[in-house]
Structure 1
Amino acid sequence: MAGNDDTPQERRRMVRPPSGGTAAGRGMGGKIKTADTKSMSSQQWIKRQLSDPWSERARAEGWRSRAAFKLMEIDDRLNLIRPGSRVIDLGAAPGGWVQVALQRGAKAVVGVDLLMIEDIPGAQLIQADFTHPGVDRQLIEALGGAPDLVLSDMAHNTVGHRQTDHLKIIALIEIAADFAIRTLKPGGAFVTKNFQGGDAGGVLARLRAEFDDVRPIKPKASRKDSSEVYLVARGRRG
């Protein structure tokens, strides 16, 4: 892809599964009960989750994660999820975005993640490494046709080395963008996680060449101290 001489296969080798856990591990279930056995950083994360108003609201309203509110805000602003649409969610665990897509009228939703996702009525959920050959075709077959919307909230395990972590972030964005460009219906849309300050120039250039409108959005549900931002591309050119 633009801005990187590595082949897609070489970039995909940079993506590794989490070291352990399940979809519930991104929520609160098991972590609260075993907080005293966790590291200090893990305990601080748990306390932050418990005191976070968006997480509290997600639990109260039955959303799988606080990330549901991020997608809802993006959709409220740009009307991406339309009744009868087909949606693919990359990095779907624990399922908050899948829930939102279904609640807002999508007729077919397929989610994929390295972690197991508990069943969500109305959606097909696949436990697999999206970067492995053949998984992209599996998603399209499960969806029953080309998607109207591709979502990617994929993340990776950081190693603490800034340059390495940055390369892994960009690799995931590039792989998701490539999939969206190859599979979306004309007029379709793509949403992917990015981080402010990250060099995603090559991806941005390609998205701007393939979509009518590309813009960054930082939802209110993103933590204020986080550099997280979402790239939204609309109007896939035919």
Structure 2
Amino acid sequence: MSGSKRGSGDRGLHVRVKTAAKRKESSTRWLERQLNDPYVRRAKMEGYRSRAAYKLIEIDDKHRLLKPGQRVVDLGAAPGGWCQVAVERVGSTPENPLVVGIDYLDMDHIPGVVFLRKDFLDDDAPAALMAALGGHRPDVVLSDMAAPTTGHRQTDHLRTTHLFEVAILFARENLAPGGSFLAKVFRGGTENALLADLKRDFETVVHVKPPASRKESPELYVVAKGFRGQGRDRDSDVEA
């Protein structure tokens, strides 16, 4: 993927899609939005598997989460856009894979990535991820997981919040000291107690909405840096 022509070739042309007899109006709107999305066009030109790659690029350009030689776990990895970015930035290779992704959906192979086709909510998923890392603790845990939408806002909110919580639990139990955590949430999805817990575990915790995240989307990302490590007496910290 060459960086010399990024952003070129987009002349702002707008494509309109007619609603076919067998296609719902909502599907037509989605297709039109995809065809006219500059990030979708840019991803195709630059070889990224999804427009979501630019969310990680924009966040990492600002917050510097991914560094050469680091080990990375990508939760909800398919179709692989975040894995592609992680491979580039940490220098993962087939001979020395530093990136492990997991998803219940299949994902085409990416050189430098160990992929587990498995539901992260399975009880044995954390152990499988750590085994894929050769027993080494990850330096960065990424999660772009979101539950399939039902159309019921409260239900969708609760399901995605649950995925955020289990991602936090994995990070808390497995991250290397000083490590970073990046995960998707929906607005209102990080309640006060959850944020207080994160701030107790990490030196800095911030919400971000990268430019690649659609304005109408309720998604935000939580960036937590400087993991304080396992084995602390969390209760005594609070009392102190």
Q: Return the TM-score normalized by structure 1.
A: 0.82
Unaligned runs of 5+ in 1: 1-31
Q: Offset at 1:37?
A: 4.9
Percent identity, please: 52
Contact 1:187/1:237 (<8 A) preserved:
yes
Which one has more relative contact order, counting CA pairs under 8 Å at least 6 apart? Answer: 1
The structure where helix makes up a greater share of residues is 1
Aligned partner (choices 118, 124, 128) of residue 118 of structure 2 = 128
Contact 1:114/1:129 (<8 A) preserved:
yes
Alignment of 1:109-124 (within 5 A): 109-124=99-114
Aligned partner (choices 25, 28, 43) of residue 58 of structure 1 = 43
1:97 aligns with 2:82: yes
Secondary structure of the corresponding residue to residue 168 of structure 2: helix
Q: Offset at 1:205?
A: 1.4
CA distance in 1, matches of 2:22, 2:227: 48
Match of 1:226 in 2: 217
1:140 aligns with 2:125: no
Q: Offset at 1:177?
A: 0.5
Alignment of 1:173-184 (within 5 A): 173-184=164-175
1:74 aligns with 2:59: yes
CA distance in 2, matches of 1:237, 1:124: 27
Match of 2:7 in 1: none
Match of 1:24 in 2: none
CA distance in 2, matches of 1:91, 1:221: 18
CA distance in 1, matches of 2:87, 2:206: 24
Q: Offset at 1:193?
A: 0.2
Unaligned runs of 5+ in 2: 1-16, 93-97, 230-240
Secondary structure of the corresponding residue to residue 104 of structure 1: helix
Aligned partner (choices 21, 26, 30) of residue 45 of structure 1 = 30
Q: Offset at 1:67?
A: 0.8
Q: Structure 1 95/37 Cα, relative in aligned 2: closer, same or farther at 3 Å? A: farther
Contact 1:173/1:203 (<8 A) preserved:
no
Secondary structure of the corresponding residue to residue 84 of structure 1: coil
For residues 48-73 of structure 1, what are the alpha-carbon distances to aligned partners after superposition, in whole Å with 9 as ceiling and x for unaligned? 11100011101110001111111011
Q: Structure 1 180/47 Cα, relative in aligned 2: closer, same or farther at 3 Å? A: same
